[in-house]
Amino acid sequence: MTLLLAGDIGGTKTILRLVESSDSLELKTLYEESYRSGDFPDLVPIVQKFLAAANTSTPEKACFGIAGPVVKNTARLTNLTWFLDTERLAQELGILSISLINDFAAVGYGIFGLTKQDLLTLQVGKHQPEAPMAVIGAGTGLGQGFLIKTGNHYHVFPSEGGHADFAPRTELEFQLLKYLLDKHGIQRASVERVVSGLGITSIYQFLRDRQLATESPEIAQVVRSWEQEAGKSEKTVDPGAVIGSAALAKSDRLSEQTMQLFIEAYGAETGNLALKLLPHGGLYIAGGIAPKILPLMQNGSFLLNFTQKGRMRSILEEIPVHIILNQQVGLIGAAVCAARL
C-alpha cells in the first residue's frame, strides 16, 4: 500500500486529500480537509497543518492540481502570491515525488476514478477504446483538454481552447459578439466570454440592453449588485447561478432566453472541440455549471447544436457524450496522477 497526497489548489480554496493506493491502483480516501488559500503565505504550511491533523506519516507521492498554467514543474497562482516549485516542495515537505498539473489536466485524470453514478450520458454514441478522449467544462472560465492513449495508459494534455475566438452562427449571436466588442473595447472576443459563468451574465446583459424581454425586479437587483461590485476580488452575489435557477423554474422569461442562448453556444463549442479531436473514446463535460442545469442540458438543444456541423453531423452523432456529476473529479484526478508517479 502506498500513501498519497492529492490537492486541488485554487486562489480561494485549497482542498487536500490523503489517499491509500493498492497495487491495483485502487484508491481509498483516509482524510480530507479544506482551507482558505489566502490565510497562508504558501502551500507548504497548509500541507504541514493537514498532515499534523491527519496524524499520519509522510506520503510517498503527491500531486497538486493548480488553477493556472504549469511551466517546467513550476506554477504561479493567479490570485495569490504563491510560487510553487516541485523541487522546493519536495525538499521542504520531505515527499519523495511531487507533481504539479493544471487543474483541468486533473479533471482529465479524474475520469479514470469515476463510477457510473458519477456520470450522466447525453449521447451513447459508438465507443472506440483506442480513440482520443476530450474534456470541456464551463465554470468560472472554459476549460478544455484531451487524452491520448499510448500503450496501456492515457496521457492527459490541457489546452487553452477556451481562449479561441467566439464563432457566432446566427444573427442574434453576431449581435452578441458586436455587443461584447463594443462594451469591453476589445478587438476580439474569446468563446470563454460567452460559455462560462461570466458568459451567462454577459448574455443576460446583452438581451436586457436590447430589450428582448422584460427584466424582473428580483433578477435585476442581483445583476445590479454584481455590476456595482466590478473590480472587487470577491463578489457577494452570483448572477449566473440566479439566472440559471430562474430559467430552470421558468419564473423569468429573460433568464430562460439567456440560458437558451448559453446552451446553444455551449453545444456548438463542444462540437467544435469534437471535430478537432474526434474523441470516440468519449467526450466529458466537466465544470460547475452543467450539473446544476441538467434539465436544460438534456432538453435537446445542447446536442442539436453539438451535432449541427453540416456533412460532419453523422460523425458527431457517434461520439459518446457524458456530463460529469462528481464535483470532486479534479481532486480524484490528482490522486490518480499521484498513484502513477
Please indicate, yes or no, whether residues 180 and 307 belong to a single structural domain of this protein.
yes
Q: Which residues participate in the annotated binding site for ATP?
A: 7-12
List the CATH number of the domain containing 249: 3.40.367.20
Tell me whether residue 14 is in a domain: yes
Range of the domain at 92: 2-115+326-339
* DSSP code of residue 130: T
Tell me whether residue 134 is in a domain: no
Please indicate, yes or no, whether residues 308 and 331 belong to a single structural domain of this protein.
no
Number of domains in the chain: 2
Please indicate, yes or no, whether residues 86 and 179 belong to a single structural domain of this protein.
no
- pTM score, two decimals? 0.92
Please indicate, yes or no, whether residues 30 and 92 belong to a single structural domain of this protein.
yes
List the CATH number of the domain containing 13: 3.30.420.40
Please indicate, yes or no, whether residues 331 and 320 belong to a single structural domain of this protein.
no
Tell me whether residue 135 is in a domain: no
H helices, E strands: number in the chain: 12, 14
Tell me whether residue 146 is in a domain: no
Residue-by-residue pLDDT tens, the chain, 341 positions: 899 999 999 878 899 999 998 776 688 899 999 999 989 999 999 999 999 999 988 999 999 999 888 889 999 887 788 999 999 999 999 999 999 998 889 999 999 999 999 999 999 999 999 999 999 999 989 999 999 999 888 999 988 899 999 999 999 999 999 999 999 999 999 999 999 999 999 999 999 999 888 899 999 999 999 988 877 767 788 999 999 999 999 999 999 999 999 999 999 999 999 999 999 999 999 999 999 999 999 999 999 999 999 999 999 999 999 999 999 999 999 999 999 88
Q: Which residues participate in the annotated binding site?
A: 7-12
Please indicate, yes or no, whether residues 23 and 168 belong to a single structural domain of this protein.
no
C-alpha separations of 242 from 219, 245, 307 in Å: 7, 5, 29
Determine which helix (DSSP H) or strand (DSSP E) holds 104, and give its type and residue range: helix 103-110
